[in-house]
Amino acid sequence: MLLLLLMQFGLPALPQARQSNSPVAPSVIKMDVSRLRALPQAKQPKSIVFSTRPTETKKKRSIRPLIIDSISPCYVLNIDPEEEEGVFTITTIPPAPNKGIKVYLQQLATTMGLPAVKPNIGLKSDSISVQFLIFQNGWIAALTSREPNTPNPGHGVILHAIKKNACVWRPALQAGSPRVYLLKMVIYYSRDENGNILSLDNLYYRPSANIEKKSKLKNSI
């Protein structure tokens, strides 16, 4: 019966709690600072700097393989003197044969098969101008001769002998360091009326002003 009356007339209003107009100060939480310091610190990620500039890498100097003549050691094939960098034509110490010019001429004469004793009858003096590169290790390359309009057929024999004796050179020195050098020299020889070379008489170096143009290089071997 009581339940029906409550459902019919409703529940009486409950008294509401008074709200205080004065602000309530929050309670202060006390924490031991020493314990706070003892807590493990969170690891901060390291900063990453991105640059908008392109990455510059040093150009590696390409090392060109040297092709050595299988028959003539110390002679390098397929070298163009105009494409070589840092070629010297004048240095404090020029290149030279290891045992001097006299022995060098004897070595060339032996390679050419010339007679040990020079004939004294019916000989004519002549010469050949040659040039070649001498590398820092004493190897040579780009052997050429500057021929006149009517080249002597025996000049090819001299060029072959120079090529066969390519291991006898000391390199040029500049400030104490070996340098690539363009050597120009003249070889004087004696020949008979048919152009046959019978002796090698002398050798001297020509002053080098610059590298000869390709159009002037002849009989390259």
**Sequence ranges of the domains in the chain:** 82-216
Is residue 134 within 8 Å of residue 75, measured between CB atoms? no
Supply the pLDDT for residue 130: 95
Amino acid sitting at position 48: I
With a cut of 50, say whether residue 204 has pLDDT above it. Answer: yes
* pTM (two decimals): 0.64
Nearest of 82, 89, 78, 61 to residue 214 by alpha carbon: 82
Instruction: Name the least confident of 19-33, 122-136, 138-152, 180-194.
Output: 19-33
103-127: b (≥16 Cβ within 10 Å) or e? ebbebbbebbebeeeeeeeebeebe
With a cut of 90, say whether residue 198 has pLDDT above it. Answer: yes
CA distance 219 to 221: 6
| Cα separation values, 140 from 124, 200, 209, Å | 30, 21, 19
With a cut of 70, say whether residue 34 has pLDDT above it. Answer: no
pLDDT tens per residue, range 126-152: 999 999 999 999 999 999 998 665 667
Tokens of 161: 């002998």
